[in-house]
Amino acid sequence: MQRTLIIFKPDTVQRRLVGQILQRFESKGLRIAALKLLQVDRPLGEKHYAEHQGKPFFEGLIDFITGGPVVVGVLEGNEAITVVRSMLGATNGAAAAPGTVRGDFSISKQNNLIHGSDSPESALREIALWFRPEEVVDYTIDGSQWVFGGA
């Protein structure tokens, strides 16, 4: 079982798409291990997107991620990191395949709705950045053998 960090970026909250997109992850079989809404400050936004520091879109990206509240969560399941990334689709919403979150709801390079960790190392770093250990909850969903069996 693997954990990944997701962020419903400010465009998702403002467009009131949080419930609809969270439903996709739940329907896929992923378990919600943590979830909260918060206003991101610039230091946290800059830490989260540190790998992009110096790129031409960096300042705009920090303006965007701090421009309104986000909902941040941890999802758990078989191969959760790649499963979530494939459900999100390509970074640029205009190029993302229909059927993916970005392909269905975004037409922008920047305002692409959801972040998902891109590797096991990123997931560990990002979960520790956004959540205290006690905020990430271990529990079993009744009947989960029907979802996870044979993985």
Residues lying near ligand GTP in the complex (CB under 6 A): 52, 57, 60-61, 91, 109-110, 112, 115-116, 118
Nearest of 9, 33, 32, 11 to residue 22 by alpha carbon: 32
* For ligand GTP, the closer CB: 58 or 141: 58
91 is an annotated ligand-binding site residue: yes
How far apart (Å, rounded) are the C-alpha atoms in residues 72 and 6?
Answer: 6
Provide the minimum distance between the beta carbon of 141 and ligand GTP in the complex, in angstroms, as a whole number: 26
Residue 9 counted as an annotated binding residue: yes
Dist CA 59 CA 33 (whole Å): 31
Q: Does the annotation flag 102 for ligand binding?
A: yes
CA distance 35 to 75: 9
Residue 57, annotated as binding a ligand: yes
Cβ of residue 116: shortest distance to ligand GTP, in angstroms? Answer: 5
Residue written as token pair 């950045």: 129
User: CB of residue 138 vs ligand GTP: minimum separation in angstroms?
Assistant: 25
Q: Is the CB of residue 102 less than 8 Å from the CB of residue 84?
A: no
List the catalytic residues: 115
- Cβ(15)–Cβ(118) under 8 Å? no
Annotated binding site for ATP: 9, 57, 85, 91, 102, 112
